[in-house]
Amino acid sequence: MTDRASVWKFRLQRGSAHGGLALLFVLAVTLMGPGVVWGDTIQYIRIADELQGIPSNQAWLHAFTEFCKNPSMPYQGTLENCITKTVAGRGPVVGWVDRNPQYQAIFTPRVGFPLLSIPFMRLLGEREGMWVVAVAGTAIAGLLIARLARLAGLSLVPSLLVQLAFYVLPASIPHGIALLAEGPTLASALVMAIGLAHVLRGSRVRGTVLLILGLGLVFFFKYSSAVLLCVSFLLVCVGLLIFKTYRRYSQIRLAIVVSTVLVVASLAINALFGFPGLNESLQDTFTDHFRHPPVDDPFNLLMVLEVDFLWRFLVDLPANAAYLLVFVAGVWGYVRAMRERLLPPAGWAGVALSLYGILSVVGHPVYTQADRLGSSLWVGVAIGVGLGARSVAARIRLRKRSPRHLAASGTAA
């Protein structure tokens, strides 16, 4: 067998392993079935209907009906009562708030998720159709994070562990598979992260193309994530220069330049198309989805909300001890890889998505939504778990070899 044939055989085996794990994830999630219809899902159903030419009033009625069939909040009344009250703007979802033009404007540009869902919605139904796209996006995201782990220097087994960790952590279940754009958006962000990893490895053209492609997909699915993602990539690249180990890598400076260009490009695209920005997001938060008049000092109110969020976060830490341990394990994996000098610059690309998750929560510190908004935090954590597993495995192998080495030395003496 030639060397090229051996390489292709290995790649096929590796791809089969990761693909098999993705298939197992899909099968497991299929047993769970589609979840509830969230407030944002109402908007996506409305957009999907309008993209098919359905009149606006009919689209809204359809969206509210789907919510009332599978509401994300407890409701004791009948289906008809729920629909009537919702359409009239009297809850359990305040219909007239959803139909507020300012609130609609936040969602209307997010055409990607509803557009891809349309064929499946026609075939399987609204909820099931959107769920298929969400699950597919999350399964693909798992394959992409496995590739990112490989670019970080991990072998097959640790990469599989990274993929498995991603599938069982909140980035996938429950948030990735929810009837929302989170799964496809995270997959798009991972394309960007892989592009950044390639740039940091010196593959300028491939990396830049993937960064641009991923950014385009992010705009397609969730434009509001684009600028913050690019800023996160830029901050991580600048942060790498803190470490003496990385300062000699010229590709880090190139990554800083590329990330800066992407930040500027994202801001320009948002301005060109008039997409709602940070101010609209803050007004949405502090006016109950534009139900009340605009506030004059949203940034001061944001600081107050940050303090409240931090207090609630600290109080709830004991209840989230399991996730805290996983987070610590991920951080420890990065620390060990740094100490062992086994972490190339490309290994930090996943941390950019973790930083994006943190900044998303900082920019929108609503405690009840933090799990979803910050779910990309677990991308870097999953890779850190793989790095830690590699370190532990190496130490175990070293300990097993030591007695043999001593025995061999004694025999020779």
pLDDT tens for residues 174-219? 999 999 999 999 999 999 999 999 999 999 999 999 999 999 999 9
Q: Residue 359: pLDDT above 70?
A: yes
- Give the pLDDT confidence score for residue 258 in this predicted structure: 98
Contact 265, 214 (CB under 8 A): no
Name the β-bridge partners of 37: 71
Q: How far is CA 405 from the centre of its chain?
A: 46
Residues 6+ apart with CB under 8 A from 219: 226, 269
**What tokens were used for 154?**
């991990």
Give whichever of 4-13, 275-284, 369-378 has the largest mean pLDDT.
369-378
Point out which residues pair with 71 in neighbouring strands.
37
Coil/strand/helix, residue 181: coil
Quickly count: other Cβ atoms within 10 Å of residue 101's Cβ. Answer: 8
Q: Please state the rounded mean pLDDT for residues 112-131.
A: 96
* 69-79 mean pLDDT: 85
Rounded to the nearest angstrom, the gap between the alpha carbon of residue 102 and the centroid of all alpha carbons in its chain is 26
- State which amino acid sits at residue 362: V
